[in-house]
Structures are given as structure tokens and as C-alpha cells.
Amino acid sequence: MKTLVMNVIEDKIPLRVYQQMRVNCGLSAKTSEACEVGLNNSIYSLMIKEEDNVIGMGRIIGDGGCFCQVVDICVIPEKQGNGIGKIIMEYIATFIKTKLPKSCYTSLIADGDASFLYEKFGFKDTLPESKGMYIKNE
């Protein structure tokens, strides 16, 4: 049985890596223009690498004081189920607890069963107090 050797890189995610990871993980494609702006304005980013390949990533976006959002949590399909998402969330949770102000409201959108992972890190459903909504610029 091969042991999974991973490295956590807490740094800006390169544009092409970001675009490819989103597509490989089943997330929506983003234009290079959107990615350049978004990645440059990330509050926190990390990648999980196995050898020279990025196999997972995650980011925090927002104003860094009052409001933030956890986004882009993804692991390539062939590596899912190995605890990589949990590692990503451990780093993100540590950043939230140690680098963001105490009153900062940090939210996320949970797809499918991902909510079970996020609950382990203290995230909870916003309903009935509030309901998440969105608009997509087409």
C-alpha cells in the first residue's frame, strides 16, 4: 500500500492551477480575468500537493475584518476520501481562529454532503435566522 505524501503550501494559487483545479473538481469554469482579480484579492489560500501535482485547494475571501467566506474547497476526484478536505479545513479553521478578528462573520456554501465536514469545524446552518442567496453575473 502506497503512503500518500503531501505538502501544504500556504500561498497564492497560480492562475492556471486554479482554473484547472476548478474544472477537474467539477466546479464552474472561471475566466482568466475573473481569476486574476479574485486570486489577487484572496485573504488566505492554500494548496495541497502530492509530489509536483496540486490535488486540493481552498481559499478565504472577504474584507478580512467584518465578513469573510470560505470558497474553492476542492480535492481532485481520484484523491477524495483520503482526508485531504479535512486537512484543508484544518488550515482554514486555524487561520479563521488566529488571524481574523473575533467578531468576523465567516460563511460558506456547502455543496452536497460537504456540510458534514464543515460542521466538524463549527460551521452551522444559517436557517431560520437567515437564508443564503446569490446572483451570478452572466
Q: For residue range 33-92, list pLDDT tens digits in order.
A: 999 999 999 999 999 999 999 999 999 999 999 999 999 999 999 999 999 999 999 999
Q: What is the pLDDT of residues 1-27, one digit of tens each?
A: 566 688 999 999 999 999 999 999 999
Cell, residue 3: 503512503
Q: What is the mean pLDDT of residues 109-132?
A: 92
CB 65 within 8 A of CB 104: yes
Provide the mean pLDDT of the chain. Answer: 95
Q: Got the DSSP string for the chain? A: -PPP-EEEE-SPPPHHHHHHHHHHTTPPP--HHHHHHHHHT-SEEEEEEETTEEEEEEEEEE-SSSEEEEEEEEE-GGGTTSSHHHHHHHHHHHHHHHHS-TT-EEEE---TTHHHHHHTTT----TTT---------
Is the pTM of the predicted complex or chain greater than 0.85? yes
- Overall size of the chain counted in residues: 138
- Domains within the chain, CATH numbers bracketed: 6-119 (3.40.630.30)
